[in-house]
Structure 1
Amino acid sequence: MKKIKKSLVTFTCVALLSGCAVSPPQNKENLCEIFREHDDWYDAAADARDRWQVPVHVPMAIMYQESSFRQDAQPPMQYWFGFIPVGRASSAYGYAQVKDETWDDYARETGGYFVSRSNFADAIDFMGWYIHKTSRVNGVSKSDAYAQYLNYHEGWGGYKRGSYRQKAWLMQTSRLVQQRSSRYQQQLLSCEEEFKRGWFWGLFD
């Protein structure tokens, strides 16, 4: 019954475009548990995988790093003299921490004019699009989470210029993303069959 109620709530939120609040998963370190808690996320990630030919574990590892799966994540507010707010460091927002201009490019290229950065399905599709373009623009394998994250952080031009080489902290972060991506891959191999059965059979678990 819990899954039936959850599915009905999810359907209502989507149908009404109400932007229902979604809590981050409790166990962010285990991809199986993430998808068990948010079972519609697997379907969205699988759709992005099929559309962009991107392995599920790579964008999920990047999303963990960018937002910890918080739908309203954004850079911290900056202050003058410690108390006068002057705005945020960038317009990055949502699950994928996408800047306004990059999100607009995605929406224009894919025809997704009603997409939202705080919607998981839209955010994971954006990440699939970005990883796909990184592969085309800079020749980076879609499975190479390390180089994909460097592109995600620095942009295609920055990566091509090697801007990350002056940022030891960023290369270390990218290694962490790669390690998490590998763990996610192994975890998903152990549980993906249960998600492939579809939502209907899951209602009776």
Structure 2
Amino acid sequence: MSGAANRQAVKGCVRAGALLVLVGSMLAGCATSPPRNPNNLCDIFQEKRGWYHTAMRQEEKWHIPASVPMAIMNQESSFRANARTRRTYILWIIPWGHISTAYGYAQAKNEIWHDYQRQTGAGGSRTDYADALNFMNWYITNTRKVDGIPVTDATRQYLAYHEGWTGYRRRTYASKGWLVTVARKVGHRAQQYQQQYDACKDRLKGGWWENFLDWLF
């Protein structure tokens, strides 16, 4: 057996042996429940270790601070994996209004999610944190390219996220005072998240074993 094959075999054995440890140590990163303290990025990443490692890998991949998509995700779904838009009713009986196809952590609609899959070749699910975060980073990147909004400008990024790239250029948000208020809230939260992360990033790095498991899988 060649040296490369030996290394692969050893890595496979280590993976098998470490799987149970990984499941136990990173279970908090699963999509089953929102973080207990959604207003503090340090607390989120400390509780959801899988989320932390995913966010750091994607930050390196997309060159977008994790604080920006995380602030948008908080606003869109409150970090709920299966979030959907609720239908409104008149007199609690008569259905009213359009039901959006927005779904999952990122509240991505069917059409834009399918565009993302076609353009990137990605599969995945809107109820998977890593897939949803990747979609959001892809969208933020394209917003910079199409509408010229810096990836760090969470306020305007959110307006484009909500209204779409064409809608943003047409300033459809200008007649929606409530949306402008929400966008400013998202921008403020992204700033808070970044400040929180800057203060705890060294502590969040974890020990060698956790980082080894993250690399392994």
TM-score tier after normalising by the smaller chain length? 0.7 to 0.9
- The equivalent of 1:142 in structure 2 is 151
- The equivalent of 2:22 in structure 1 is 7
Distance 1:10 1:22, change over 3 A: farther
- The equivalent of 2:141 in structure 1 is 132
Give the counterpart letter for 1:39 in structure 2. R
Give the counterpart letter for 1:7 in structure 2. L
Give the counterpart letter for 1:8 in structure 2. V
1:22 is displaced (CA, Å) by: 1.4
* Alpha-carbon distance between aligned partners in 2 of 1:89 and 1:96, rounded to the nearest angstrom: 17
Identity of aligned residues (%): 47
Q: Write the mapping of 1:25-174 to structure 2, written as runs, cut at 5 A.
A: 25-79=35-89, 82-83=92-93, 89-113=99-123, 115-174=124-183
TM-score by length of 1: 0.85
Does the Cα contact within 8 Å between 2:143 and 2:157 map onto a contact in 1?
yes
Give the counterpart letter for 2:78 in structure 1. S
Residue 80 of structure 2: SS of its match in structure 1? coil
1:106 is displaced (CA, Å) by: 0.8
1:193 is displaced (CA, Å) by: 1.8
* Alpha-carbon distance between aligned partners in 1 of 2:25 and 2:210, rounded to the nearest angstrom: 17
TM-score by length of 2: 0.80
* Alpha-carbon distance between aligned partners in 1 of 2:79 and 2:192, rounded to the nearest angstrom: 17
* Alpha-carbon distance between aligned partners in 2 of 1:75 and 1:63, rounded to the nearest angstrom: 14
- The equivalent of 1:17 in structure 2 is none
Give the counterpart letter for 2:53 in structure 1. D
Does the Cα contact within 8 Å between 1:76 and 1:88 map onto a contact in 2?
no
Q: Which structure's CA Rg is the greater one?
A: 2
Give the counterpart letter for 1:129 in structure 2. W
Q: Which residues of structure 1 form unaligned runs of 5+?
A: 15-19
Higher alpha-carbon deviation: 84-93 or 34-43: 84-93
- How many residue pairs get aligned? The number is 193
- The equivalent of 2:188 in structure 1 is 179
What is the RMSD of the two structures over their aligned residues, measured on CA atoms?
2.6
Distance 1:72 1:41, change over 3 A: same
